[in-house]
Amino acid sequence: MPTREEIQTFLKAEFPHNHCIIDQVGGGSATIRHLIGPNELRPGGTVSGPLLMMVADVALYVALLGEIGIVPLAVTTSLNFNFLRKPSAEASIVGVCKLIKVGRSLAVGEVALYSEGSDAMVAHAVGTYAIPRRGQGPSA
Amino acid sequence: MPTREEIQTFLKAEFPHNHCIIDQVGGGSATIRHLIGPNELRPGGTVSGPLLMMVADVALYVALLGEIGIVPLAVTTSLNFNFLRKPSAEASIVGVCKLIKVGRSLAVGEVALYSEGSDAMVAHAVGTYAIPRRGQGPSA
Amino acid sequence: MPTREEIQTFLKAEFPHNHCIIDQVGGGSATIRHLIGPNELRPGGTVSGPLLMMVADVALYVALLGEIGIVPLAVTTSLNFNFLRKPSAEASIVGVCKLIKVGRSLAVGEVALYSEGSDAMVAHAVGTYAIPRRGQGPSA
Amino acid sequence: MPTREEIQTFLKAEFPHNHCIIDQVGGGSATIRHLIGPNELRPGGTVSGPLLMMVADVALYVALLGEIGIVPLAVTTSLNFNFLRKPSAEASIVGVCKLIKVGRSLAVGEVALYSEGSDAMVAHAVGTYAIPRRGQGPSA
């Protein structure tokens, strides 16, 4: 299975706009982080909702790549997102993903999002990825 | 806060059709179980989907009662459910709930469902309850 | 594609415990109903939540069978459910499903639930079915 | 209730980073659009997932403002998102929201997303907003 560095290199090459940093991957889980600066903040000092959803989606993708290898064509099919608390404007967002099923064509995982340094979950997501079969595009 | 026995007694009195057994409640979590017999099975020996969803909903309700006291008017507002694996036809269904937010008017929790004796999650749910304010019905 | 009568006959044979009546199926949609009596009611005269979820699930299944033919092995993989209003204790529950995607291995549909004779939606669901490939079980 | 122009002006003032254009609002619904250019595209010519989720969230917010008046403190509490088809890289994304419940403290709506000029839904969302009570912040 790919290492953390290999997945980070893949993300940088394929998704150059994406600035998530992988802290850990493997064993059906992943932890990633994203810096928060003016571009990620909204009026009132809140972190952009789409930024939170993107971090959840990437955490799930990274955990999955760590489990099935680097499969560029895996695509998100669903994301269920709960916003729980206002994140800090001054801390990175950390996403911790645990895969709960990796099947033949679908993988499901849950992601807890935190402001770095705090134990209070700011958002929670459950997402599903469609895994392509060999020689095919996404099967969904 | 109410004890496990008090919540079990409340459930039996208010929801006499419901046969969930509370194993643990408190500290923002709950574990409940439901026996599986012919009434809960469907052709092919699979556990009824609505039974699984009911156990998830009750696990969330019990965890919430353990946190806010016995509040009969709390009502489910949403339930996001993922079916992961076929449960055993011969084991009880166990639901383990962890609350991830208990706010002024909404509570959110996640529930993992298992066939007793197995570590493989058979289903996963995230649900939301509306908590009534004093002197009111549900606030949703 | 199968007729309403063929799908109704299939449901009765394969799911004898299920008492949903198909009013319409075809064109990517289905309307079904379920009588409400003492067995479907809970204290306070509310319709059982699992009954509502079951009707949503069956509406989706029937709409899908009307689109892809009678495929017994299609299985629900997710159900996102919102409870909106207290249903009437004296009216049938009607579920109206519209499929929003039927892909190679996944189908997605939404379901609106009503108390018969009322325009006020009592619950709303979005569900996903995994469609087996020829010669295979469910592909999820 | 506010007009389309008043809500558009409010959005521009409060969320200057947001470039959604309101086509219609009122009667429990809203239609908005977002131009697609290089900033919104990802490798392979696909529209960014977070952009789709943002459009869904804004469509819901606009529909809600059209129903309850301009209430800045309404906040998203949940978003359930299904990705259905690859959007066009050369057409605006159009989001059509229909509110399905506007209660005292929660509103629920569904959103269909399209590439302008096409009838094929590219994504579907169901979201919930918490509505603050007078003199309060968000009640969730």
Query: Alpha carbon of A24 to those of A7, A31, A84, B103: distances in Å?
Result: 10, 5, 24, 31
The whole-number pLDDT of residue D73 equals: 84
Length of chain B: 140
Low-confidence stretches of chain C (pLDDT beneath 50)? 135-139
Contacts of D9 (CB under 8 A, 6+ apart): none
Q: Could you tell me the pTM of the whole model?
A: 0.93
pLDDT at A134 over 70: no
Interface residue of A77, A81, A82 to substitute, partner C, most C CBs within 10 Å = A77
Of C17, C18, C14, C30, nearest to C107 (Cα)? Answer: C30
For residue D41, the distance in angstroms to the closest alpha carbon of chain C comes to 23
Partner-chain contact B85 A101, CB within 8 Å: yes
Query: Alpha carbon of B122 to those of B49, B62, B82, C3, D90: distances in Å?
Result: 11, 20, 9, 34, 42
Residue of B nearest to C122 (CA): B77
Are B113 and B95 a contacting pair, CB within 8 Å?
A: yes
Cβ density class D73-93: b for 16+ within 10 Å, e for less: ebbbbbbbbbbbbebbbebbb
The whole-number pLDDT of residue C44 equals: 83
Partner-chain contact C139 A80, CB within 8 Å: no
Interface residue of B101, B110, B111, B118 to substitute, partner A, most A CBs within 10 Å = B101
Subunits close to D (at least 3 CB pairs below 8 A): A, B, C
Task: Report pLDDT digits (tens) over B112-129.
Answer: 999 999 999 999 999 999
**Residues on chain D bordering chain A, Cβ-to-Cβ distance under 8 angstroms:** 14-17, 42-43, 49-51, 53-54, 57, 75-83
Subunits close to B (at least 3 CB pairs below 8 A): A, C, D
The whole-number pLDDT of residue A139 equals: 45
HEC string for chain C: CCCHHHHHHHHHHHCCCCCCEEEEEECCEEEEEECCCHHHEECCCEECHHHHHHHHHHHHHHHHHHHHCCCCCCEEEEEEEEECCCCCCCCCEEEEEEEEEECCCEEEEEEEEEECCCCCEEEEEEEEEECCCCCCCCCC
What's the mean pLDDT in A44-69? Answer: 95
- The sign of the CA dihedral A19, A25, A28, A32 is negative
For residue A12, the distance in angstroms to the closest alpha carbon of chain B comes to 31
Extended beta strands in chain A, E state: 21-26, 29-34, 41-42, 46-47, 75-83, 93-102, 106-115, 121-130
Residue B76 per-residue DSSP state = E
Task: Report pLDDT digits (tens) over C36-47.
Answer: 999 899 888 899
Question: Where on the phi/psi map is residue A69: left (φ > 0), alpha (ψ -120 to 50), or beta?
Answer: left
The whole-number pLDDT of residue A140 equals: 52
The whole-number pLDDT of residue D72 equals: 80
The whole-number pLDDT of residue B140 equals: 52
> What is the average pLDDT score of chain B?
93
Residue of B nearest to A103 (CA): B84
Question: Where on the phi/psi map is residue C111: left (φ > 0), alpha (ψ -120 to 50), or beta?
Answer: beta
Q: What does the block give as tokens for C49? A: 């939540």
Subunits close to C (at least 3 CB pairs below 8 A): A, B, D
Give chain A's count of helices (H) and strands (E).
2, 8
Residue of D nearest to B103 (CA): D140
What's the mean pLDDT in A81-102? Answer: 97
pLDDT at B23 over 90: yes
Distance CA C2, CA C22 (A): 13
The whole-number pLDDT of residue B26 equals: 98
What's the mean pLDDT in D105-121? Answer: 97
Residue B139 confidence class, pLDDT cut points 50, 70, 90: very low
Residue A85 per-residue DSSP state = S
The whole-number pLDDT of residue A2 equals: 97
For residue D16, the distance in angstroms to the closest alpha carbon of chain C comes to 32
Coil vs helix vs strand at D50: helix
What's the mean pLDDT in A76-86? Answer: 97
pLDDT at A44 over 90: no
Task: Report pLDDT digits (tens) over B73-101.
Answer: 889 999 999 999 999 999 999 999 999 99
Set of chain D residues whose Cβ sits within 8 Å of the Cβ of A82: 77-78
Q: In CATH, which superfamily holds the domain spanning C4-130?
A: Hotdog Thioesterase (3.10.129.10)
Coil vs helix vs strand at B63: helix
Find the range with the poorest average confidence among A3-12, B37-46, D33-42: B37-46
